[in-house]
A and B are shown apart, each in its own frame.
Chain A
Amino acid sequence: MDAMEPWNLWMYLFCSLAAVCLCLIWIVPTPRGRGPRAVGLGAALVPAATLCVLAFGVTAPTWTFQVTAIFADGHSVTSGGSLLPGAGQLEAFWLAVAIVVAASVFTLVASRQAAYLAAITLLAFGLWQAYVALKLHAGLVGGYYWYDFMLRWTDRLAVWLVALASVASGSLLAARTIVADALGRRSGLTAQVQRLTLTRAAAVDAAAAELRRLERDLHDGAQARLVALGINLRAAEKLIRTSPDGAETLIAECRETSSQALADLRDLVRGIYPPVLADRGLGAAVEALALDCPVPVAAEIDLPGRPPAPVESAVYFAVAEVLNNVAKHADATCALVRLGYADGIVRAEVTDDGNGGADPGNGTGLAGIERRLGAFDGTLAVNSPVGGPTIVVIEVPCALSSPKISTS
């Protein structure tokens, strides 16, 4: 009936602290899954937890307590005993190991949700109660128990009931959490598959439509002009001796036609992959767009590198379309384009002081851009209250390559 020794108390506090730290690692979510921070903490705490278990196993059987009750009439009763009655060092050791290992495996493998920890605690408590009840029935233990107060106002059935209730609720909680987790993962995956299917179909459609447009533009533009050129040259060839003046007129016409063919091709190339984008990258290309816009546009560019070419192209055409809308529909006096990169996302923001009321669902321009950005998991957000201002935000997750090469 000795009082708890001071160093045992410290050991007990240390164990509790370690357990709380362990729980915190599992419960506190990291920004994106289990980041390196959680892994590092876990690695540091595994040896700590092992030490705690060893300390608990070695010292727990010797832990004792003493309680003194002072009654109203002045007399007092002192009671006390072992904290883990009848438990040998080995039993206590394995109990602690089992709880820590089960909790670790369950929480690490299944999830880091607090529900699992609660379920594990309930299950462990219930099993321990069952173990105590069995021992009570078998008359294997005697002496004082720290839970004697409970046995005094109930009977042993209560221990069984507590054990059953704990095990049952622990199991239910665990099962419910596991099912919910599995369903959540599954519906998340289903949603992702649906999104990917949609964006892939849109990307394929967009590519096909683009090819059709190119074919048509070439056929009606440069190709037609080259045919005309050939015909006129042939005619000039015939006329050159008989009517030099007529031939000269025809040749001048040819020169004009070849200029127009070049202009057609130039427009076409701009629509496929703008030369300035190839030359200088997204930052300068957006700056060039700002310069070309009929509405005065200020550009704030801060890109520390170059996104992959397809992303550059998608963001470029998105900004081009948005600025086109600003010029055509917004009746704005000025606009601002901001282009930047943070947290693995390229972000372009176009703000204008126009009428507002832009609706991305209305008209094919913005919808087409959304589809094109969707292929890169990119998004387009429009905030345009009636009366303005309008803010369009384009975001595409991607990595940047090679650092910026300074111009001029």
Chain B
Amino acid sequence: MRVVLAEDLYLLRTGLEKLLAAHGFDVIEAVDSGPALLEALVRRQPDVAVVDVRLPPTFTDEGLRAAIEARRRVPGLPILVLSQYVEQLYARELLADRAGAVGYLLKDRVFNDDQFTDAIRTVARGGTIMDPEVVGKLLGRRSRDEPVARLTAREREVLALMAEGRSNSAIAQRLSISEKAVSKHSTSIFTKLDLAPSEDDNRRVLAVLAYLNA
């Protein structure tokens, strides 16, 4: 799997390169600035890109802007954004084109390399991964009007794990319930949120997130 990597700190960049190589990814280009990233993304069109939010020259949200611009030019280009902090505002911007194949994770999540590489593969397949912190905040909202208020506590748990990009079996394992129970919960969630059922997990996650963000 061809990966473009953008990270300005040398140690982190080489660390990530090694980690990705060890898990069978092919890092075709590793860049250290926003303009270089945009150029690499558009020219190489990798299977997936792993991008740090804060990059030179402005050291603000250069990586995010480059990612959004690249996806404007190459629709659906899979990009996983890493950051020291997560903002719902940025998550919303990443999800805005509703094309899927995006991820937004805290940098700490790299520590768990299996989960991290799973996340990269999910994004490359067109799935959506949001950091539990983003999802937690979304679900933490209280409102009498929003449909999410109609969900039971268990359904919220299932929805949160789903939004993090986990499969039904992973959710079942995590909550110590049967996979059948998970699918029952998810059907109920989609009914309550007025979402038409579909076989595509990632589409559903995207729909849920977009719905919550609206």
Contact = CB atoms under 8 A, between A and B. Distances in A.
Interface of A: 255, 258-259, 262-263, 266, 269-270, 275-276, 278-280, 284, 287-288, 291-292, 294-296, 333-334, 407-408
A296 B143 contact: yes
Contacts of B145: 296, 333
B111 A291 contact: no
Interface in B74-106: 84-85, 87-90, 92-93, 96, 106
B118 interface: no
Contacts of B85: 266, 269-270, 275
A296 B61 contact: no
B65 A296 contact: no
Contacts of B137: 292
B141 A296 contact: yes
Contacts of B65: 407-408
B142 interface: yes
B14 interface: no
A258 B109 CA distance: 11
Nearest to B92: A291
A278 B140 contact: no
Interface of B: 54, 60-61, 65, 68-69, 84-85, 87-90, 92-93, 96, 106-108, 111-112, 137, 140-146
Given A278-B60, A280-B61, A294-B140, A262 B89 contact: no
A288 B89 contact: yes
A276 B108 contact: no
14 contacts: A275-B84, A275-B85, A279-B60, A280-B60, A280-B61, A284-B89, A287-B89, A292-B137, A296-B146, A333-B143, A333-B145, A407-B65, A408-B69, A408-B93
Contacts of B144: 333
Contacts of A408: 65, 68-69, 93, 96
Contacts of B87: 275-276, 288, 291
Given A278-B60, A288-B88, A408-B65, A294 B142 contact: yes
Contacts of B140: 294
Contacts of A266: 84-85
Contacts of B61: 279-280
B68 A295 contact: no
Nearest to B140: A294
The 10 A-B residue pairs whose C-beta atoms are closest, nearest first, are A279-B60, A291-B88, A279-B61, A288-B89, A259-B108, A262-B108, A255-B111, A276-B87, A296-B143, A275-B85
A369 to B, nearest CB: 23
A275 B84 CA distance: 9
B143 A276 contact: no
